[in-house]
């Protein structure tokens, strides 16, 4: 089956490469000529473990190709995926759908045969209806069906998530749409991945509901962590204790500096806007958004406290280990590190940092932060060390060497990757999240 993927960013490229790996004939399309040129040379536009090898082997096998021409790319495709960005619209937080609609228009004008047009981009409820209207208005004579098929990939684990999904959600309004999508996902049917067929609007909402629920779970445990610190309890044990209840589940209960990334912050805001438009307030999600936002600067203040408070911090040195919003990505979008660094520099602290993949993107976002070549270089002369992202590289630091390099052995572990007793035994003044 021929599949066209319009938009070769994170979602489009990972999905396209995985579909090709299943044996489909995939063309990834993007307007950005330099991105397509680099893909032709085997250079990935994003850092995602395993993606370069997957792309390379499928290009070699002749199942995956790249083009800037939408008309050429969608020719004879049975399924045309729209996987372009839906950033928060400036000013009002609504998802900006202009890229999705522009693609829909071009697809309508270029259709060369019957096709299912699939929105994979995260789009608010009703977007499929609008895409359908745009396709109709394009005057195409070919049969088409508009389907919603949200993605649930996590950055850093995207290929595994795609190939072994918890579920596939398909929102289709007719048999043509359902039949083509069954064929698209047939390789996953065979490995018994659950597929849920729903109506299109329901499928669109499932994506937002899933992300908002996960963001709520994280925010809930973060607040429990704060309470643990006050009452002298241990949040990791609280997570275990509640997570063993199957009705709650153990995942997404790691307390930390607040969620970031390209999805939760944007999608929770977009859900609030939809709820507002339909006069159906989602107060829990409103509280989650506010709580998470204020948490990020609060984490900066936690590091300041370890320096003896904002009033004593000027001229002192802080080392940040990890900048990306989570490990195994170079993505800095809404990373808590940005607010932490800002809070510190606002208080006159000199901040140095190291991140295995994120420094190039981080640098313009935090121009006052000194980027270092390795973790130990960042630690030199530090009065406080803060672990902001739980990269594996920070899990087994040579603590003896750290103590020799720093000015004071003070560590604030915002990801709870070290054991408090061990750290104290090693001579560190150690604080973490939600653990006495
Ligand atoms: C998230 C969802 O997990 C995916 O299912 C979804 O497809 C994706 O958004 C999307 O909508 O595209 P992602 O943003 O890549 O994926 O990252 P997550 O692993 O979900 O982490 C998000 C944030 O939550 C990170 O800042 C992470 O550090 C934080 N987090 C996660 C916690 O603080 N605690 C946890 O227990 C889990």
- Output 90 or 360, whichever has higher pLDDT: 360
Mean pLDDT of the 142-155 span: 96
Percentage above 70 pLDDT, the chain:
100
The string over 124-146, giving b where at least 16 C-beta atoms fall within 10 Å of a residue's C-beta and e elsewhere, is bbbbbebbbebbeebebeeebbb
Find the range with the poorest average confidence among 79-93, 157-171, 376-390. Answer: 79-93
230 membership: H or E segment, kind and range:
helix 200-231
Q: Please say if the pLDDT value at position 436 is more than 80.
A: no
Percentage above 90 pLDDT, the chain:
94
Identify the pLDDT of residue 87. Answer: 84
Mean pLDDT of the 197-204 span: 98
Q: Which atom of ligand 1 is nearest to the CA of 218?
A: 34
120 Cβ below 6 A of ligand 1: no
Nearest CA to ligand 1 atom 25: 259
Identify the pLDDT of residue 343. Answer: 97
Q: Note the pLDDT tens digit of each residue in 408-418.
A: 999 999 999 99
Identify the pLDDT of residue 192. Answer: 82
Mean pLDDT of the 187-210 span: 93
Spacing, Cα 263 to ligand 1 middle (Å): 7
Identify the pLDDT of residue 309. Answer: 96
Identify the pLDDT of residue 38. Answer: 96
Mean pLDDT of the 170-191 span: 94
- Output 386 or 47, whichever has higher pLDDT: 386
Nearest CA to ligand 1 atom 24: 259
Q: Please say if the pLDDT value at position 191 is more than 90.
A: no
pTM to 2 decimals? 0.94
Mean pLDDT of the 52-72 span: 97
Q: Note the pLDDT tens digit of each residue in 96-132.
A: 999 999 999 999 999 999 999 999 988 999 999 999 9
Question: DSSP 3-state assignment of 414?
Answer: coil
- Spatial CB neighbours of 385, under 8 Å, sequence gap ≥ 6: 318, 319, 321, 379, 402, 406, 410, 411, 412
Contact 201, 172 (CB under 8 A): no
Find the range with the poorest average confidence among 23-27, 121-125, 230-234, 336-340. Answer: 121-125
Nearest CA to ligand 1 atom 30: 259
pLDDT band at 95, cuts 50/70/90?
confident
263 Cβ below 6 A of ligand 1: yes
91 membership: H or E segment, kind and range:
none
Cα distances (angstroms) measured from residue 383 to each of 161, 208, 305, 325, 339: 40, 42, 12, 24, 19
- Spatial CB neighbours of 403, under 8 Å, sequence gap ≥ 6: 409, 426, 427, 428
Give the integer Cα–Cα distance in Å for 34 and 337: 30
Spacing, Cα 154 to ligand 1 middle (Å): 6
Which of 9, 47, 154 for a ligand 1 pocket mutation test, highest count of atoms within 8 Å of Cβ? Answer: 154
256 Cβ below 6 A of ligand 1: yes
Contact 53, 44 (CB under 8 A): no
Q: Note the pLDDT tens digit of each residue in 259-294.
A: 999 899 999 999 999 999 999 999 999 999 999 999
């Amino acid at each position: 089956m021929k599949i066209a993927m319009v938009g070769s960013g994170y979602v489009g490229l990972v999905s396209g490469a995985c579909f090709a790996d299943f044996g489909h004939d995939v063309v990834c399309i993007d307007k950005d000529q330099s991105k397509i040129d680099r893909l032709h040379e085997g250079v990935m536009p994003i850092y995602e473990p395993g993606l370069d090898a997957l792309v390379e082997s499928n290009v070699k096998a002749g199942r995956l190709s790249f083009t800037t021409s939408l008309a050429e790319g969608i020719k004879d495709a049975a399924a045309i995926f729209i996987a372009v960005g839906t950033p928060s619209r400036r000013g009002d937080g609504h998802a900006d759908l202009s890229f999705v609609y522009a693609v829909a228009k071009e697809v309508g004008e270029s259709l060369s045969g019957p096709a299912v047009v699939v929105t994979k981009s995260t789009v608010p409820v009703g977007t499929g209806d609008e895409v359908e209207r745009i396709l109709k208005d394009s005057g195409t004579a070919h049969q088409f069906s508009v389907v919603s098929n949200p993605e649930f990939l996590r950055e850093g684990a995207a290929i595994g998530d795609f190939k072994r999904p918890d579920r596939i959600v398909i929102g289709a309004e007719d048999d043509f749409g359902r039949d083509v999508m069954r064929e698209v996902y047939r390789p996953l049917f065979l490995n018994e991945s659950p597929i849920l067929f729903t109506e299109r609007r329901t499928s669109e909402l499932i994506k937002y509901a899933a992300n908002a629920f996960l963001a709520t779970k994280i925010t809930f445990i973060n607040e429990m962590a704060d309470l643990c610190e006050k009452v002298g309890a241990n949040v990791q044990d609280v997570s275990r204790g509640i997570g063993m209840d199957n009705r709650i589940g153990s995942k997404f209960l790691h307390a930390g500096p607040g969620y970031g990334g390209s999805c939760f912050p944007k999608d929770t805001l977009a859900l609030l806007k939809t709820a507002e438009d339909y006069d159906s307030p989602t107060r829990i999600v409103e509280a989650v958004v506010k709580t998470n936002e204020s948490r990020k600067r609060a984490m900066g203040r936690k590091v300041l406290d370890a320096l003896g408070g904002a009033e004593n911090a000027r001229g002192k040195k802080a080392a940040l280990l990890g900048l990306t919003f989570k490990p195994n990505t170079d993505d800095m979008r809404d990373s808590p590190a940005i607010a932490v660094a800002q809070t510190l520099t606002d208080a006159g602290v000199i901040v140095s940092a190291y991140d295995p993949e994120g420094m190039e993107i981080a640098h313009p976002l935090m121009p006052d932060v000194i980027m270092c070549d390795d973790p130990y270089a960042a630690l030199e002369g530090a009065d406080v060390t803060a672990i902001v992202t739980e990269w594996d590289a920070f899990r087994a630091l040579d603590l003896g060497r750290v103590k020799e390099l720093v000015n004071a052995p003070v560590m604030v572990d915002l990801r709870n990757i070290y054991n408090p007793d061990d750290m104290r035994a090693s001579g560190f003044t150690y604080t973490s999240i939600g653990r006495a």
